[in-house]
Copies of this chain bind each other. A is one copy, B any other.
Amino acid sequence: MKAGELAVRLGGTVEGEDVELFACAGLEEARAGEVSFCKDAKHAKLVAETKASAILLPRDWQSGAPCTIIRVGDPDTACMVAAELFAPPPPERAAGIHPTAIVAPGVKIGADVHIGAYTVIEAGAEIGDGAVIEAQVFIGERCKVGAKTHIYPQVTLREGTVLGRNVILHCGVRLGGDGYGYSTTFEGGMPKIEKIPQLGVVEIADNVEIGSNTTIDRARVGRTYIGPHTKIDNLVQIGHNVKVAGYSGIIAQAGVAGSTQIGTGCLIWAQAGISGHIKIADGVQVGPQAGVPQSLDGTQKYVIGTPATSMKELAAITLAPKMLAKLRAEVKLLKSEIALLKAQM
Interface residues of A (CB under 8 A from B): 23-26, 28-30, 34, 79-80, 83-84, 86-88, 90-91, 100, 102, 116-118, 120, 122, 134-136, 138, 140-142, 152-154, 156, 158-160, 168, 170-172, 174, 177-178, 180, 182, 191, 193, 195, 197, 199-200, 207, 209, 211-213, 215, 217, 221-223, 225, 229, 231, 233-235, 237, 239, 241, 243, 247, 249, 251-253, 255, 257, 261, 265, 270-271, 273, 275, 288-289, 291, 293, 305-307, 309, 313, 316-321, 323-324, 327-328, 330-331, 334-335, 337-338, 341-342, 344-345
**A120 and B117 within 8 A (CB):** yes
**B345 and A341 within 8 A (CB):** yes
- Whole-angstrom distance between the alpha carbons of A28 and B193 in the complex? 26
- Whole-angstrom distance between the alpha carbons of A136 and B168 in the complex? 22
Chain B minimum-CB-distance residue to A312: B321
- The distance from the CB of A285 to the nearest CB of chain B, in whole angstroms, is 13
- The distance from the CB of A197 to the nearest CB of chain B, in whole angstroms, is 7
For A177, list chain B residues within 8 Å (CB).
152, 170-171, 211-212, 234
**B170 and A178 within 8 A (CB):** yes
**B160 and A136 within 8 A (CB):** no
Which single member of B24, B159, B233, B321 contacts A91 (CB below 8 Å)?
Answer: B159
Q: Could you name 24 residue pairs across A and B whose Cβ atoms are closer than 8 Å?
A: A26-B222, A79-B221, A83-B221, A91-B140, A91-B159, A120-B136, A134-B138, A136-B138, A172-B174, A180-B211, A193-B229, A195-B209, A213-B213, A237-B270, A252-B257, A253-B255, A257-B270, A289-B291, A305-B306, A316-B321, A330-B331, A330-B335, A331-B331, A331-B334
